Structure 1
């Protein structure tokens, strides 16, 4: 094994251990790798968690799966079996999504849906398909999922090169692999990527005997943590792979070697990797600079002047990060067992790379950051409440939970910590140190005042919303499956949709019970009230996803 000093490993594990205990994460596992092999790997568990972590312990890698899908597709392109610039209908006859932007294109890339656009999320596809989506535990065949997408309506102009993340689009790429090869997606990927790289503990779907090998993971809300559900997701090409630290280290090593396995077998060509790692289109703001741009199923960015490539993953209870510095020949893999702890995984990944760079005299020594002081009893008593920005009229809430304070802003719960006096910083499970988020700092300079986002917010009395309009009131309540309930509620004189545990979206009214959603996950998706599915069930649609109505209990904003 290539050498990494005990001091360097101890420093990295100390940083990981702080996050595990401070953010109450069940465990974080890691691997550091270079072109020659594994530098170090380990598993750090919370003090009250005890799971037998072994070489075959698996993690759900979520959307890192997309990079495998791109590698598989580009193998076919190298053999001349697919043209990534051609209209996808060449390989999937009948696949003709409705393009409402046809004839009024705004960009240079043409109005067709190509494999390159699908892999770069610039094709304009909806985020989730009608079936086989993130909130669907039925796992329909990939062919059925893609057939339903064939007549869907594009939500963005495919000529513009603007990125809008789409699991549905990657499902289409996987279906092209199936039709061109005559094999299932999983069979092709296993034979042509996993087996050649000796990734023997990795799987394309959840195997029946996974229980003893799958690291336990938690979901969370402000009300508490709970075990993550384990089931096979539909749309396998977008996020279904389970793997281990050792197997993923072999995958990362192959990428760092220009696509060559250690035995010299070419998994993918250096030219294909260069194409996949070339940024394409425009990525929305709000991503860590380590992966701020996007190529084909790989994020592209910068770490201390080094070009970085990789991908993150978020799937029921697991947050993962693969980050490579190809020119430096090093990489890191992080697997956290807490839902949506991705920003923590990302900054730990950058920390790990900086430690290796410093060890090799290729970067500055990593400085340990100061731990924040504790919140005082007086602050717990004084700061909670509602605050209004007089200019915009927006209202946010500072909410107290046992031992913690949260700012309920941007549609998600943001944990806040003191820096000094009444100056605070956002540092929690969602955002914290190193986040590419421009509003980490806030303060309470005077009684009943909050300064945040460049504005002064003044305390207001506890908000009591007006009664919802009659056309909205019957639709408030719970929707979707037990393992992932969606809530519609009325707040601040508008309809809100709380989806995927803690992502609150504002709903802009359009017409006929339809709304445009604005928020972190489902930006610009259409919400339809009083929808009816093919079985006569009533509910809502988010994009093409149908969510059946559960009950009439109202939710409060998270």
Structure 2
């Protein structure tokens, strides 16, 4: 998901804001040394880097950079390094709309058609629905051809014309589904209403008054000074990430910033210095809909609710090729956590989610313990076998197994974890802040699915049948299937053999073993997918047919 003012009413706009100054705690507060030690052990000095900030009650407790902002130039990442922040931009876009509403310049109940009269179905979509992702607008970043187009600059009107005729995902207000199209349109509405560019409005209304001098719209033609380059970790090494032209991001994700600027923003926003009390409440409030997606984010307006090590948090994350970001506010402890990174995909162990958890554990151990679930001794192991089985997760298959009176969860090829009971049908992971609730058929009472909650996201995982039986094939037969298969313009499935086992690796993803269920069909245990190898007239394998989630993909074998 990607993340993104000399107004005629400038004086009114500026009166509501106050500059936030940096106050650093004297000496190294408790937790700093432990956190730095963990970061030194986990993060390399020669890989892509990032910056982290931890603040509490207006004081910065920890602010460090790590790794390299520019690997080719050997420039270290520091707290002053500027990073693209992707969808973290959305809270600025939402705040701009809400601020304009406070000034009487628009209403969030206005229809989209008021600002874009020719937009299909715009008379039935409100700005409120754009803000909380219930508009039904299909996200343009998921449209066919986006990846091929995004490297070249585009004008906002041309981008809107490109995506506006995409069929909607559902009728407005019926469901929640994250849509970058909605936020791109909101950024353009800010420009239409204020009479200036989206970037100028943010600068005059928010960035200047708050002292956020290292934040702005990323322009590829004139990138900001002291900016991090973006990289992707391919499982072995860092490589330059695909370059997006950020004109494609707009109000959905075009901003760059630093950790200290984002701290200033969070302190001001959550402290009521950006929006009035009613607007801030609206931005924070989770919106409910009649129907929910399989995967649901507890979203408000440019902000979502989550948990960090069981601690309630509110904020936003961002992801672009080469960049990951997370800005979180922990209301119970008045803590701000910011992590910015210039790697996506990142090296394992260095994602913002993982680093935020490390920061929380370093500074908030006692408070985490108070919020963590407790083992429910009334739940007896005799019930565990009823939960055993395979469950369809978004990224693979979760195996629930029972051994010697204990219950375990293992997702794909990841490590196996014991889960502990915390209530009827409810379990939690003691090693990560995640919980599972098993769900029953109301008639048969058999377990049919589970609901998994982690990082503020809840999704349902239906229970699957038994995996296919595997057959044994000789090495000569297996060797006939090795090679490279073209899955897409930039995606190749590489099939190799080691001893009597085939392995398959898709570009940018880990390698997984695949298992034969016939003399030419194989399946993954890590994900509910299979591949069928097809021979040509000469008997040689000429293509692979991939089956997953009801979809079929033909992948020719590379010569």
TM bracket (short chain): 0.5 to 0.7
Contact 2:54 2:63 in 1 (8 A): yes
Q: Of 92, 116, 135, which residue of structure 2 is paired with 1:123?
A: 135
Contact 2:63 2:79 in 1 (8 A): no
Contact 1:219 1:228 in 2 (8 A): yes
Match of 1:511 in 2: none
Q: Of 79, 84, 88, which residue of structure 2 is paired with 1:60?
A: 84
Match of 1:255 in 2: 269
SS of 1:310's equivalent in the other structure is: strand
Distance 2:40 2:276 in 1: 38
**Offset, 1:353:** 3.4
Alignment CA distance shift 1:152-1:231 (3 Å): closer
Contact 1:113 1:123 in 2 (8 A): yes
Q: Of 31, 44, 55, which residue of structure 1 is paired with 2:53?
A: 31
Q: Of 411, 414, 419, which residue of structure 2 is paired with 1:416?
A: 414
Distance 2:360 2:222 in 1: 34
CA-to-aligned-CA distance 1:66-122 (integer Å, 9 cap, x gap) = 111111111111112221123211122112249xxxxxxxxxxxx921112112111
CA-to-aligned-CA distance 1:166-218 (integer Å, 9 cap, x gap) = 11111111111121112121121122122122111122113656486222432
Alignment CA distance shift 1:95-1:487 (3 Å): farther
SS of 1:323's equivalent in the other structure is: strand
Q: Of 331, 334, 337, which residue of structure 1 is paired with 2:336?
A: 331
Distance 2:139 2:209 in 1: 32
Distance 1:232 1:47 in 2: 19
Number of residues of Structure 1 aligned to a counterpart in Structure 2:
406
Are 1:346 and 2:353 matched, yes or no?
Answer: yes
Alignment CA distance shift 1:437-1:203 (3 Å): farther
Alignment CA distance shift 1:461-1:142 (3 Å): farther
SS of 1:42's equivalent in the other structure is: strand
Match of 1:482 in 2: none
Distance 1:270 1:466 in 2: 67
Distance 2:479 2:167 in 1: 35
Alignment CA distance shift 1:80-1:311 (3 Å): same
Q: Of 105, 108, 112, which residue of structure 2 is paired with 1:88?
A: 112
Contact 2:66 2:77 in 1 (8 A): no
Match of 1:12 in 2: 35
Distance 1:554 1:200 in 2: 52
Contact 2:69 2:342 in 1 (8 A): no
Contact 1:121 1:169 in 2 (8 A): yes
Alignment CA distance shift 1:419-1:190 (3 Å): same
**Offset, 1:164:** 1.4
Unaligned runs of 5+ in 1: 99-110, 261-266, 368-388, 398-408, 421-431, 442-451, 468-474, 480-484, 491-497, 505-519, 521-550
**Offset, 1:280:** 0.9
Match of 2:95 in 1: 71
Are 1:434 and 2:419 matched, yes or no?
Answer: no
Unaligned runs of 5+ in 2: 1-22, 373-388, 398-409, 419-429, 437-449, 453-462, 496-504, 512-526, 528-553
Q: Please give the TM-score of this superposition, normalised by the length of structure 2.
A: 0.61
**Offset, 1:281:** 3.0
Range that drifts further, 313-322 or 340-349: 340-349
Cα RMSD for the two superposed structures: 4.7
Are 1:168 and 2:175 matched, yes or no?
Answer: no
Match of 2:550 in 1: none
